[in-house]
Amino acid sequence: MEPGHDLPRAPTCQNMEITFRFTGALRSLTGHRTLTISLIKGTTLRAALLALADLVPADFAQEVIEPIVQGGPFPAVLLLNRSHVVRAEQLEQPVGDDDIIAFVEPMEGG
Coil, strand or helix: which one is 43? coil
Domain hosting residue 33, numbered range? 15-104
pLDDT at 79 (0 to 100): 96
Total number of domains constituting the chain: 1
- Nearest-angstrom CA–CA distance, 105 and 23: 7
| pLDDT tens digits for range 43-79 | 999 999 999 999 999 999 999 999 999 988 899 999 9
Task: Answer yes or no: is 6 within a domain.
Answer: no
Task: Answer yes or no: is 69 within a domain.
Answer: yes
Coil, strand or helix: which one is 64? helix
Task: Answer yes or no: is 24 within a domain.
Answer: yes
- Nearest-angstrom CA–CA distance, 28 and 15: 29
Return the CATH number at 47.
Answer: 3.10.20.30
pLDDT at 50 (0 to 100): 97
> Parallel, antiparallel, or unpaired for β 100-104 and 83-85?
unpaired
